[in-house]
Amino acid sequence: MSNTRHLLQASALVAISSVIVYYVFTAFFPFMPSASVEGDKILVLANAHYLVISVLFALIIVFMLYSILVFKRKEGDDGDGVYMHGNTPLEIAWTIMPLGIVVFFAIWGTNLLLDINSSAGDADAFVVEVEGRKWAWKFTYPDGTELASLVVPKDMPVLLQMESADIIHSFWIPEFSVKQDLLPGVKKQLRFTPNKTQQQIIEDQFERTGIEGYRPLVRCAEICGTGHSEMYANVYVMNSLAEAEAEIQRILNDIPEDPIARGEYWWSAEGFNCQSCHSIDGSDGTGPTWLGIYGREELLESGETIIADDAYIQESIYAPNAKIVQGYAANVMIQTYEQEFAAREADLAARGRDDVVILQDIIEFMKSISE
């Protein structure tokens, strides 16, 4: 067989293998379906990477196997191989081509990053202030409402003004593809334009994984301590700005009527995420379990014991460092709940719900799991 025939044959095999490798890659490692304008652009770039990776993989494997199988030593052939010193055109080609590809991707990637981080649309953006802390997210909306969930409109640029209250956290919603670290004392921005509603995101995921009950979440992508895996928040993508504003009001007002259930709501990730440190099933966490807490005899760091009554619980929440439970650390629990409860109660009172006292709800809930 002539050299040209070999080359043509091997090239055809590379082409076929590339396609197969690409399909196997994308079947085994499918991308998260994108739900933002930025995510769509990033997916095109990521897909191009997959393509190049597939061709390179096929190129190496096919030429290697082809050489091993086709140029195998024939029976009785004891001669030396052809002596080759090098092949200058080939060497130039395999230097220039990869360099070209890498430079091409570098330019593409840089432009995309500049485009995604561009502040050009900020004037029309829906601005949300984000605070990350151990271990919860807090979102403050343009009208001042504070919530533990992120609500954004579809087809409108969203600008997040983000800061951490304690250590480094990282804001990540996988379906929007963008991610940004939050640093204490530094405002960081993150921009994205959602182009799918929450319902569409859920349907996409169901189609991809067959798993029911998926919901889009903000996650923390920086290992930030024991409660790291509990540091999440619900994401609601609404059809329009008006719907987003209505949804913020709905979430704010949509709290359980029964004080015990409401106490549990405040404990959960939708409320103040006390659950990231306090269990209600008796298991130990960063803080003591709430199971059986009401009326419990607590041994304090000071060596005293105290009965957990209303006054002690109130002090433990509003001034966490006043008394430290033995075996637990001071300065871990958030110190600002008094103000945060007051702010939430004011938001509720402004909408006619002046009956809600968060501290009382929490105590009622604690009593209900202390029988």
Contacts to ligand HEC by CB under 6 A: 134-135, 227, 272, 274, 276-278, 286-288, 293, 298, 308, 313, 316-317, 320, 324-325, 328-329, 332-334, 337, 362
Choose among Cu ion, ligand HEC, none what residue 317 binds, the Cβ cut-off being 5 to 8 Å by kind. Answer: ligand HEC
> Residue 196 and residue 176: Cα distance in Å, rounded?
10
Shortest distance in whole angstroms from residue 35 CB to ligand HEC:
29
Rounded CA separation 186/223 (Å): 19
Residue 278 binds which one of Cu ion, ligand HEC, none, with CB within 5 to 8 A depending on kind? Answer: ligand HEC
- Considering beta carbons, is residue 181 or 203 the nearer one to Cu ion? 181
Q: Smallest gap, in angstroms, from Cβ of residue 280 to ligand HEC?
A: 12
**Cβ-count burial 45-73 (b if 16+ within 10 Å, e if not):** eeeeeebbebbebbeeebeeeeeeeeeee
Residue 133 corresponds to which amino acid?
R
Rounded to 5 degrees, φ, ψ at 347 are: -60, -40
Q: In this complex, which beta carbon is closest to ligand HEC, that of residue 21 or of residue 308? A: 308
67 vs 302 by CB, closer to ligand HEC: 302
Q: Rounded to the nearest whole angstrom, what is the least distance from the CB of residue 180 to ligand HEC in the complex?
A: 22
Q: How far is the CB of 185 from ligand HEC (least distance, A)?
A: 19
How far apart, in Å, do the first and last CA atoms of the chain sit?
Answer: 88
In the list Cu ion, ligand HEC, none, the entry touching 154 (Cβ below 5 to 8 angstroms by class) is none
Q: Is 37 helix (H, G, I), strand (E, B) or coil?
A: helix
Q: CA 330, CA 113: separation in Å to the nearest integer? A: 42
Binder of residue 277, out of ligand HEC, Cu ion, none (CB less than 5 to 8 A by kind): ligand HEC
- Pick from Cu ion, ligand HEC, none: which does 298 bind, CB < 5 to 8 A by kind? ligand HEC
Name the binder of 274 from ligand HEC, Cu ion, none, CB < 5-8 A by kind.
ligand HEC
CB 160 within 8 A of CB 128: yes
CA contacts within 13 A on the Cβ side of 96: 6
Residue 219 found at the interface with Cu ion (CB under 5 A): no
- Contact of 299 with 367, CB cutoff 8 Å: no
- 190 in Cβ contact with 178 (< 8 Å): yes
Question: Which residue in this structure is represented by tokens 């991707």?
Answer: 105
Q: Which of residues 222-281 bind Cu ion (CB under 5 A)?
A: 224, 231
Query: What is the closest distance, in whole angstroms, from the C-beta atom of residue 321 to Cu ion in the complex?
Result: 22
DSSP character string of 61-80 = HHHHHHHHHHTPPPTT--PP
Nearest-angstrom CA–CA distance, 48 and 3? 32
> What is the token pair recorded at 268?
């959960």
Instruction: Indicate the residue among 42 and 362 with the shorter CB distance to ligand HEC.
Output: 362
The entry of Cu ion, ligand HEC, none that residue 329 binds, CB within 5 to 8 Å by partner kind: ligand HEC
Query: 119: how many CB neighbours lie within 10 A of its CB?
Result: 10
Residue 173 lies near Cu ion (rule: CB under 5 A): no
How far apart CA 66 and CA 59 sit, in angstroms, is 10
Least Å distance, CB 363 to ligand HEC, is 9
Binding partner of 362, given ligand HEC, Cu ion, none, CB within 5-8 angstroms per partner class: ligand HEC
Nearer to Cu ion, 252 or 274 (CB): 274
Nearer to ligand HEC, 141 or 337 (CB): 337
Catalog residues that contact Cu ion under the rule CB under 5 A.
169, 220, 224, 231
